[in-house]
Amino acid sequence: MQNYLDSSSPRSNLIIKHSFNLVFKKIETVFFILLCVICLITSKLNREINNKINNYFVSISRPVVKIISIPINTSIDVFINFNKLILAKKENIKLKEELFKLQNYYLTTLAIHQENKELRNALNFVKSKTENYKIARLIGMSHQAFNQKILIDSGLNRNIKEGQIITGNRGVIGRVAEIFEDKSRIMLLTDANSRIPIIASRTRNRGILAGNNSGLMEILYLPKNHQIAVGDKIFTSSDGDVVPPGLLVGVVRKIDKNFVYITGVEDINNLNIVSIIDY
């Protein structure tokens, strides 16, 4: 009997414990339901309390929402500004390309305008002297001290002949010295081997203009009693019938006893278009 009681004791304890748990759960359930009913009744009976609770939650949630919205709005602004920056960068690149094209067009227009101006000047000068001429472009220049020559883009292909006079916008610059298929070498008046007959416009004294590989050219074979003065203009003469007469060659710059020195009227460094006179 004692053994039976001893063996049944743990089991009875479990049953009792389980019963108490059920009772407590029922009590909890009843209490929770009762609390809910009280809350409902209270909320219906007292709207002011309900409004206070709502206002309390609103007052608490408002700064929280505001704080949360700051990084969100900032992120949105950053994203929008980033997109605007990308679009602005693309537009800037496009504008730079258009500006580069416009600059090229502008430079091309200036070059064409300058070339047309030089062509008009060359044509006006040559037309007043002769009707037989050709227009050519200067394509090369010798920078050697003892080789005063230039290259033009016309040769046998345009029936260029040796000895023909070459003029710029204002006057004579040289003569054809060597001819190739599509270009010719021009000996400038300043070359030491250059010789052409000239006449002084005021005194009508005649001589031979000789180059000396410098900026000053000398007039040879003048009479000792010549009356040439600084500033007088010098033109080609018809002596020997080798060059067309009346073409401006240069201006007298220096007189040393019987030596008369002149400078040319053309700046070769700024010359692009030349005329070839067929004489």
Residue type, 114: Q
CATH architecture of the domain 133-277 equals Beta Barrel (2.40)
Handedness of CA 191, 197, 199, 205 (dihedral sign): positive
Which residue blocks in the chain are alpha helix, DSSP H? Answer: 2-45, 47-127
Output the CA–CA distances (angstroms, integers) from residue 141 to 37, 96, 145, 174, in the order listed: 112, 37, 12, 13
On the 0-12 / 13-18 / 19+ scale of CB atoms within 10 A, 123 is middle
pLDDT computed for residue 2 by the predictor: 43
Q: CA–CA separation, 165 vs 277, rounded Å?
A: 5
What pLDDT, on a 0 to 100 scale, did the predictor assign at position 7? 45
DSSP bridge partners of 198: 207, 236
Q: Domain map of the chain by residue range?
A: 2-67, 133-277
With a cut of 70, list the residues of the chain below it in pLDDT.
1-32, 34-69, 71-73, 75, 105, 111, 113-115, 117-131, 143-147
* 78 SS3 class: helix
Amino acid 128: pLDDT: 54
Give pLDDT, residue 210.
96
pLDDT at site 3: 44
